[in-house]
Structure 1
């Protein structure tokens, strides 16, 4: 079992949340666009399952370290309800998604802040 670097994981989730926030904003901006298909970002669990951790080395001449770059897939929502305008955006669903993104950002930030504070306290002695 490999150790998990919390700060790398939090950074990756923050990037994912940024993509999700952009997608939600795009869906909301196109709520009245005829024929627009709502988009959704793949779940963060799927992103984590697709991320590989590279081998670590002790010298710059050794293998590169860190996680590989993961791209986040953005796709049309599965089986959406089609409105009379042939649009699949539900403003209520998008506002709920925006709230989830905000809460996730706040939780991510609070966890990183707490671990940073613990690291600072241990380094001070």
Structure 2
């Protein structure tokens, strides 16, 4: 596998966040639809797990990147409640997810801005 490019990774994460926000908006829009089941998309970490990145140790003092350092898998959450009509959308749960998306997007843009600033500083001669 080739090098991991931060801007490509950030772009993929932003696209994933956009898709997740659209899914949550669909859940909220169908909160009163009888029989509607809440939907969510696969966690971004699961998508990243499919890509293998080899770590290079340039010093014997570096920590080895063994499997013990990999984050544990995420657990799929179920809806908090199912109403009599069979609808499983919990507006509280959907709003919590929307807040998570907002926080993740802010972090994503802050990292990209910081990396861009470092890149521009290093390219000035």
Give the unaligned 5+ runs of structure 2: 54-75
Q: Separation in 2 of the partners of 1:7 and 1:52?
A: 18
Which residue is equivalent to 2:63? none
Give the unaligned 5+ runs of structure 1: 54-76
Matched position secondary structure for 2:40:
strand
Matched position secondary structure for 1:40:
coil
Deviation at 1:7, TM superposition (A): 0.7
Name segments (4+ residues, structure 1) moved above 3 Å: 77-81
Q: Does 1:92 align with 2:95?
A: no
Q: Any idea what the Cα deviations from partners look like across 1:66-116, whole Å, max 9, x if unmatched?
A: xxxxxxxxxxx7653321121000000000000110111111001000000
Q: Any idea what the Cα deviations from partners look like across 1:30-81, whole Å, max 9, x if unmatched?
A: 001000000011000111123479xxxxxxxxxxxxxxxxxxxxxxx76533
Higher strand share: 1
Q: Separation in 1 of the partners of 2:6 and 2:12?
A: 10
TM-score when normalising by structure 2: 0.74
TM-score when normalising by structure 1: 0.74
